Amino acid sequence: MGTVGGGTVSVLSRNAQEIARRAGRGIHISHAAAREYDPSLPGVSDIDRISDDAWAVVDDPEVAIVIELIGGYSPAKELVLKAIENGKHVVTANKALIALHGNEIFSAAQEKGVTVAFEAAVAGGIPIIKAVREGLAANQIEWIAGIINGTGNFILTEMRDKGREFADVLAEAQALGYAEADPTFDVEGIDAAHKLTILSAIAFGIPLQFDKTYTEGITRIEPQDVAFAEELGYRIKHLGITRKTPTGIEMRVHPTLIPERRLIANVDGVMNAVLVYGDAVGPTLYYGAGAGAEPTASAVIADVVDVVRALTTDPGNRVPHLAFQPDKLSSLAILPMEEVETAYYLRIQVQDVAGMLARVAGMLAEEGISIEAVKQQEPAPGESEVPLVMLTHRVREKRMDRAITRIEAFEGIRTPVIRIRVEHLG
Catalytic residues: 195
Angle at 300 between CA 299 and CA 304, to 5 degrees: 115
Q: How far is CA 6 from CA 11, 125, 181, 281, 381, in A?
A: 9, 15, 22, 37, 57
Distance CA(54)–CA(64), nearest Å, equals 15
413 secondary structure, DSSP code: B
| Residues 70/93, Cβ–Cβ less than 8 Å | no
Distance CA(163)–CA(108), nearest Å, equals 50
| Residues 57/63, Cβ–Cβ less than 8 Å | yes
Distance CA(122)–CA(267), nearest Å, equals 17
In angstroms, how far apart are the furthest CA atoms of the chain? 79
> Contacts for 128-131 with beta carbons within 8 Å, 24 or more apart?
128/199, 128/274, 128/276, 128/286, 129/198, 129/202, 130/302, 131/276, 131/284, 131/286
Following CA atoms 187, 334, 404, 149 in sequence, which dihedral angle do they give, to the nearest 10 degrees? -20
Following CA atoms 274, 129, 214, 338 in sequence, which dihedral angle do they give, to the nearest 10 degrees? -80
Distance CA(220)–CA(386), nearest Å, equals 18
Q: What are phi and psi of 343, to 5 degrees?
A: -90, 170
Query: For residue 392, which of 338, 323, 339, 346 has the smallest C-alpha distance?
Result: 346
Distance CA(315)–CA(158), nearest Å, equals 48
Query: For residue 145, which of 275, 290, 283 has the smallest C-alpha distance?
Result: 275
| Residues 199/137, Cβ–Cβ less than 8 Å | no
375 secondary structure, DSSP code: E
359 secondary structure, DSSP code: H
Q: How many CB atoms lie within 10 A of CB 32?
A: 19
Q: Identify residue 72 by its one-letter amino acid code.
A: G
